[in-house]
Amino acid sequence: MKNAPVDTQSDAATSFEGTAANPQWGGRFASGPAAIMGEINASIGFDKILWRQDIRGSLAHAAMLQKVGLLTETELVEIRQGLGDIAQDISEGRFDFSPALEDIHMNIEARLSERIGEAGKRLHTARSRNDQVATDFRLWVRDAIDGLQEQTAALMRSLATRALEHAATPMPGFTHLQVAQPVTFGHHLLAYVEMLSRDRGRLRDARARLNECPLGSAALAGTSFPIDRRMTAAALDFDRPTANSLDAVSDRDFALEFLSALSLQAMHLSRLAEEIVMWASAPFGFVTLSDAFTTGSSIMPQKRNPDAAELVRAKIGRIMGDFVGLLTVMKGLPLAYAKDTQEDKEPVFDATEAMTLSLAAMDGMIRDLKANAPRMREVAGMGFSTATDLADWLVRELRVPFRTAHHVTGRLVGMAEQKGCDLADLSLEEMQSVEPQINKSVFDVLTVEASLASRTSEGGTAPANVKHQAEAWLAKLGETA
């Protein structure tokens, strides 16, 4: 989404030479900008994406101006018709965006004045590009949040659906990437539902804080015209007008909070993507992705590469980079507005596009993947994964202090390791040589299935718990099992 590199010798760079001053600047400037000044100053290459929000804001502003007597009813009708025609032209690809007019705001205003004359020139009464762009940008971020909220909910539904399907499917739970205790595949997937739920909460919080309307703050000090800021705020579905005109036009913390929330969400998606990459590898063999979400190799015909997951894993780099980049732009700016804030939009547009793609790809992969239940069950029983169940049994049945039980279990694990067998393969006599009180009922807890069934504490991995939680999430997200 970045502009192409500037070539000061190219026709594009010299297209600004010899042009008259931007007519929207008024009479202060007699001649046009230097070529390179025109290139660095223009933002229309990327901010034209704001056209819907700009037209919506202008319609609300015009209605307010008419209400307070700064426009006639006839002028309001002309402005509405003109903006409607411009919106249709843009949506149908017939609008010629001019770099000489710098940005989307001047492009639309200039075209409006060309079409309807004096009424179009009155539209900018009681506003500045400073409050105009701050309003447009808040509207755009708000719309982006709404879209990402829906996508996130869709991914959560897919995860919860697969979790219900695999509520009792054993898999190894890891710590330090070492087999630790058995869990279910459904329990593992629901962990990401919880993470994404918090991600949605952060987006919801960011939306609530940004939902104040800067329009009417003008350049930085407000305006002397008798405007009704509450009318425009309501028309644009903001909760209220911003309280301080300096703050309203100069801060971009709403964009930074949005990027911060996206960075955290991208981190969660990256973790899930990393697990899919591992699970799909031959040493794990836990899942298979179809041709729809894998690619081949140019030299190794047997390869099935989980490229979709790898690319989702990589998106955190650019999204977090966008966050740090904008934070760096903003950190040294004195009040109020500075042109530096023109650099606020590309990082937000870029991060939003990256997250939109990531959520769509991840949702597709979760619905597509096939679990290899026998392989997961096999690995779930490796690495003495029921050792904790043995220690718990010693505490529960023999009233042994946990630290003593931990020590006894460790000795039995060492014995089994020496013999090259699992804990359940030790004889009762061998176990009793370490702890004489052990009886044959101990073998009832040394299977993967028994371990899973025993984890009934709230939030635990017992299949009944997982089924209940998956059904609860699906109900909450509006989808039946």
Q: What are phi and psi of 181, to 5 degrees?
A: -145, 155
Q: Which of 176, 427, 441, 457 is catalytic?
A: 176
End-to-end CA distance of the chain: 40
In 117-184, alpha helices (H) = 118-122, 129-165
Closest Cα partner for 8 from 47, 42, 34?
34
Q: Which of 10, 290, 297, 468 is catalytic?
A: 297
Give one DSSP letter per residue of 425-467, joined into a string. GS-HHHHHTT-TT--GGGGGGSSHHHHHHH--STT---HHHHH
CA distance 44 to 129: 14
Q: What is the largest CA-CA distance in the chain?
A: 101
CA distance 466 to 459: 8
In 68-117, alpha helices (H) = 73-91, 104-116
Q: Among this protein's residues, is 297 annotated catalytic? A: yes
Q: What share of the chain is helix, strand, coil (3-state, %, to 5)?
A: 65, 5, 30
CA distance 277 to 284: 10
Radius of gyration for the chain, computed over Cα atoms and rounded to the nearest angstrom: 31
Q: Which residues are catalytic?
A: 176, 297
